[in-house]
Amino acid sequence: MISKEAVKRGYNRGNYVVGAPTQPGYAAGIEKVGGEAYFQKDAVVVSADVLAQLAAAVDELVTETADVIAGTRDWWAGSMIGETAGTPATPTAVIAKVSTTEQVQAVMRIADAANVPVTVSAGRSNVTGSALPVRGGIVLDVCEMNKFVSFDEASQIVEVEAGMFGDIFEEMVQKDFGMTMGHWPSSYAISTVGGWVACRGAGQLSTRYGKIEDMVYGMDVVLADGSLITVGETSAAAVGPDLLQLIIGSEGTLGVITTVRLKLHRLPDYGRAIAYGFASFADGLEACRQIMQQGANPAALRLYDNLESGLQFDLADQNVLLIADEGAQEIVDAVLAISERVCAETGAKLDDAVIFERWLDTRYLTGKSAEGFKRSPGFVADTLEMTGRWRDLPAIYDEVVAAINAVPGTLAGSAHQSHAYVDGACLYFSLRGDVAVDERAAWYRAAWDAANAVILKHNATLSHHHGVGLLRAPYMEESLGAGFAVLRAVKAALDPKNLLNPGKLGLEA
């Protein structure tokens, strides 16, 4: 069973810390903490008066520069490039650690009165720079806001505080309630429930269980002025636009999520997996499309191109499609029967057990996109996930890989299809470059620009689940078109002083 296996096999990341942020691998190589800020300009310095008010309101204040650098460090390649060159991302800030909703409200009231920016910070596992305090001010660390609140067994709804880490959450719902949420991002143990919601994340089994926005029943949110609102709280509604969905994915720019109520599923005791190889990535995509449009929704439907099939499964001459499902036996058998019939038309049967076992063993590894490549000081690897229509995906795959490969210094672009829908799917690209150390930032932006030019040309979606942060900010206005003015207006209405996480989602810093 995939959900049970995930907890049983645990988390195989060497430096993983339970219940607190885990430092990214590059932190181990950081020698000096000085240097100019890489992403801060005109950072707001918190005054002694505000510091005193904060000290009286929160559990702990962190003010030493070295601690602020370590306590704001994220997993973004952009931060890595800056910090390994001696320029920490955002050294000017104070970190306020809180453990209650009342403390969050108190911090927002202090910040509102003094006009100080506030950036929410949780697991810091984001890969877009979204939790970096680019305007300085207060970093609101919510990791100690991590308690279980309640379980409604009849409705299968659990309530937890937003700072609970994912592994602790899932283990609790499995062991205490015999349930699962079915949300398995590869970062599940280094990220928090609130971070999942704030970033609109997706887990590896999303084709059965949905993305995080499908899993939230309701939540409590502290707004910029310190007021507390509750959004959602319904199975379905016709009471105007959905405020819950407005907050989900807002990356800390519209409010601070304090408590989340989430929909659970019964823990499955049946599961199976099959695997096929295809001659081309386009053939594999077509099989995925057929499976989804014929009504099957296997938990995992993952198609790897030649390069990734070679790296992951030692099958470089194949485009490997892994299909795994779990749940009631009647449903799983029907889903896999449809999948098998579709795949047999153009694909070649592979060793199901070997492929499935390899995937279970490696799916939480960090740096998968870098595997198989020599890591010199100028080596940079990153991933780019986007969503497109089935109609466009074969061309998007070819064109994005070609665009990345055409950037001087690129070693290789590749992709897999990771999350599928009736109308389209997410392609998850990996990009790796090796250039002179001081050319890493230029290569990195050139590769992202090249890939995003293709995505924008096809009117596809910039991100499927990693979010926007700083990384995708330059492409947001073009991507949303006239709709971007609406996003700006919503921000101005909810946060007129631009206190909450300024500079993210392409909004003003």
Ligand X SMILES: Cc1cc2nc3c(=O)[nH]c(=O)nc-3n(C[C@H](O)[C@H](O)[C@H](O)COP(=O)(O)OP(=O)(O)OC[C@H]3O[C@@H](n4cnc5c(N)ncnc54)[C@H](O)[C@@H]3O)c2cc1C
Q: Footprint of ligand X on this chain (CB under 6 A)?
A: 74-75, 119-127, 130-131, 142, 162, 185-187, 191-192, 194-196, 198-199, 201-202, 251-252, 256-257, 366, 465-467, 501, 504
Nearest approach, Cβ of residue 293 and ligand X (Å) = 25
Question: Whole-number minimum distance, CB 207 to ligand X, in Å?
Answer: 13
Q: Based on CB atoms, which residue is closest to ligand X, 276 or 428?
A: 428
Q: Could you tell me if 133 and 90 are in contact, meaning their C-beta atoms sit under 8 angstroms apart? A: yes
Residue 10 has which token pair? 């645990």
Burial classification of residue 42, based on how many CB atoms lie within 10 Å of its CB (0-12 exposed, 13-18 middle, 19 or more buried): exposed
Provide φ and ψ at 145, rounded to 5°: -90, 75
The residue (of 111 and 131) whose beta carbon lies closer to ligand X is 131
CB 266 within 8 A of CB 179: yes
Q: Which of 147, 203, 146, 149 is nearest to 180 (CA)?
A: 203
Query: Alpha-carbon distance 307 to 321, whole Å?
Result: 13
Question: Strand 94-97 to strand 138-141: parallel, antiparallel, or no bridges (unpaired)?
Answer: parallel
From the CB of 448, what's the least distance to ligand X, in Å?
16
Residue nearest to ligand X (CB): 195
3-state helix, strand, coil in the chain (%, to 5): 40, 20, 40
- Least distance in Å: CB of 402 to ligand X? 26
For ligand X, which is the closer residue by CB, 100 or 405?
100
- Of the pair 388, 467, the CB lying nearest ligand X is at 467
**CB closer to ligand X out of 22 and 290:** 22
Under a CB-based contact definition with an 8 Å cutoff, are residues 250 and 231 in contact?
no
Question: What's the token pair of residue 413?
Answer: 């672009």
Nearer to ligand X, 204 or 318 (CB): 204
Residue 441 half-sphere exposure, CB side, CA atoms within 13 Å?
12
SS3 for 319? strand
Write down the least CB distance from residue 191 to ligand X, Å: 4
Residue among 194 and 277 whose Cβ is closer to ligand X: 194
| DSSP label at residue 183 | -
Q: Nearest distance from residue 194's CB to ligand X, in Å?
A: 3
Q: Least distance (Å) from ligand X to the CB of residue 294?
A: 26
